Amino acid sequence: MPVPTPSQFAAILDTAQRGDYALASINVTSTNSANAALAAFAETKTDGIIQFSTGGAEFVSGPAKDMALGAISLAEHVHRIAEKLDVYIALTTDHCVPEKLDKFVRPLIANEEARKAAGLRNLFNGFMFDGSELPMNKNLEIAQELLAKMAPLGVILEVEVGLVGGEEDGIDREGIENDKLYTSPEDMVLAYELLHKLGRFTLAATFGNVHGVYKPGNVKLKPTILRDGQDAVQAKYGKDAKLDLVFHGGSGSLLEEIHETLEYGVVKMNVDTDCQYAFTRPIVDHMMKNYDGVLRIDGEMGNKKVYDPRSYLKKAETGMKDRIITAATDLKSLGKTVFSK
């Protein structure tokens, strides 16, 4: 069962923390993009994460327009395919802002509670709450409420402290004040104090991260913020209090910056924008090279072999798979799995 159990997922994160590497966490919006991620992890024997955003999950649900239902549907697909693979692939959700909790995270928690009552294993390994737009106390108050419900289920909470800039999936933070892009050590200590006794959590602390891809020099990352926050937590609570950190806005980051964050406790990095491009680029190439085949021009019938969606979607999956393998290589997790038969 290569979608890990709660204890197996905890072991995956612990191993990444000890080994100074991080798991590639890939946003998917369809069975095609999910299959690309599954193939990348399976072919390279690499533990990884597949995750769903609110918008991506709603897209999956089609005419139902139900983001929780879409996430459940695609998670069930991943479970069924992953059963055939010899690698662990965890399932989590991505940014869920406060106004969408009742449509996304809370129904997903209720679904896990129902599964537990029925004697079924978890569908998900983790849910993310992004309350970074709220005052710090309110952000962590909601996080405490969610974690208190999730911890007995073995589901890990991801919280965000500090704002990730840019735009992703309807969350637009272009032009926000620069100082809000950097989490303070005091905020990291407070998050630890309020959450660690309730259950396991990961922390998306921000250090200048921006969603999307920008030209070199446009994004000013300060990975030492993560180091300073870890030092502050461990100085107060001991070396065993090291936080499991998450790197958001990872697409387009410099390799040396990625590697530096691994030294400071990053165990998960989200890769979305680069994967979107890697999926779409082969489709564009296919269409341009086969223009007279994918269209019926001048009374001709085109070429079924090239307008069959499988012909270009397979290329798209391969393009995205290759980008995920690059991400795992950058994160030093390529070929690393704790799975054993």
Contact 192, 243 (CB under 8 A): yes
Residue 189 near residue 234, CB atoms below 8 Å: no
0.95 exceeded by pTM = no
Q: Is 322 a catalytic residue?
A: no
Share of the chain above pLDDT 90, in %: 83
Q: Determine the residue type at 281.
A: R
Angle (nearest 5°) at CA 42 between 333 and 327: 35
- Calpha distance 232→243 (Å, rounded): 11
Residue type, 243: L
CB crowding 197-206: b at 16 or more within 10 Å, else e:
ebbbbbbbbb
> Would you state the pLDDT for residue 219?
55
Question: In the predicted model, is pLDDT for residue 109 greater than 90?
Answer: yes
Q: How far apart are CA 239 and CA 89, in angstroms?
A: 29
Asked which of 137-146, 166-175, 207-216, 271-280 is least confident by mean pLDDT, the reply is 166-175
User: What is the 8-class DSSP label of residue 64?
Assistant: G
Strands in 165-168's sheet, in edge-to-edge order, are 171-173, 165-168, 210-211
Q: How many CB atoms neighbour CB 264 within 10 A?
A: 22
Each residue's pLDDT tens digit, 13-34? 999 999 999 999 999 999 999 9
Helix (H) or strand (E) holding 53: none
Distance CA 140, CA 161 (A): 9
Residue reference for tokens 């085949």: 293
Catalytic residue among 94, 169, 244, 274: 94
The pLDDT, as a whole number, for residue 216 is 47
Type of residue at 294: V
Q: Which residues pair with 202 in a beta bridge?
A: 158
| Helices (H) then strands (E): counts for the chain | 13, 11
DSSP H/E element including 166: strand 165-168
Residue 174 has a pLDDT of 47
Topology of domain 6-284+318-330 in CATH is TIM Barrel (3.20.20)
Instruction: Report the share of the chain in percent with pLDDT over 70.
Output: 90
